[in-house]
A and B are shown apart, each in its own frame.
Chain A
Amino acid sequence: EDKVVQSPLSLVVHEGDTVTLNCSYEVTNFRSLLWYKQEKKAPTFLFMLTSSGIEKKSGRLSSILDKKELFSILNITATQTGDSAVYLCAVGLQGAQKLVFGQGTRLTINP
């Protein structure tokens, strides 16, 4: 069975800290790995990583994919209270049109 596991499940830090969120996966026919931010309802797309793009960066957020060890990390530097959200990791599969999601990491940034 395809599985995506995120850790930690919950994280509380102070504004300005740097955080690292983890995502490991065990799936058949990996095609892509995606990160989403979910603040209230709609998950918002952050990054997609594939074999041809294993590192992405946007402002204070960055992500890498390790296809050999089957994991990805999402880094957020100089955190702000607006970064408080649930971060979801999802894997896209070859030959299937679904995304398989992890359970999410709830990140809380205290001022």
Chain B
Amino acid sequence: ETGVTQSPTHLIKTRGQQVTLRCSSQSGHNTVSWYQQALGQGPQFIFQYYREEENGRGNFPPRFSGLQFPNYSSELNVNALELDDSALYLCASSQFTDTQYFGPGTRLTVL
């Protein structure tokens, strides 16, 4: 059984650029959630996808958007990057339950 994987591991961008982060869910899981974790803080919910549809969104602006594909993998897109977007971005998959299994994350640095 393959766990949750994310790519890339690290990313450096400049203000105003756009970024795409990728996540492959654990085998058998149909739900993917994205979280942003700033240094020294707990993860903050961005949004969730269930069977290719957005199924809940946190307090993040529309420049944060996502997709889920038929194989349940997912993308997080962030437009017009700001310095405060620097964080660890975590993807978690589940079988539509509260028990979510996390990937290793993508560390995004915005200069």
Contact surface of A with B, Cβ cutoff 8 Å: 4, 6, 31-32, 34, 36, 40-45, 48, 88, 90, 92, 96-104
Contact = CB atoms under 8 A, between A and B. Distances in A.
A25 to B, nearest CB: 12
Contacts of A34: 98-99
B42 A103 contact: yes
Contacts of A98: 33, 45, 48, 56, 58
Interface residues of B, number: 27
Contacts of B104: 40-42
Interface in B5-35: 31, 33, 35
Nearest to B48: A97
Nearest to B103: A42
Interface in B54-111: 55-56, 58, 88, 90, 96, 98-105, 107
A96 B50 CA distance: 12
Contacts, number: 65
Nearest to A4: B42
B45 A41 contact: no
Given A42-B90, A88-B42, A99 B100 contact: yes
A65 to B, nearest CB: 13
Given A32-B98, A41-B104, A97 B55 contact: yes
Contact of A97 (B31, B40, B42, B103): B31
| Chain A to chain B: the 10 pairs with minimum beta-carbon distance, closest first | A101-B42, A92-B98, A98-B45, A97-B56, A41-B105, A32-B98, A41-B104, A42-B104, A97-B48, A43-B102
**Residue among B4, B48, B88, B98 with the highest chain A CB neighbour number at 10 A:** B98
A42 to B, nearest CB: 5
A43 B107 CA distance: 14
A45 B90 CA distance: 14
Nearest to B101: A45
Contacts of B98: 31-32, 34, 48, 92, 99
A38 to B, nearest CB: 8
B48 to A, nearest CB: 5
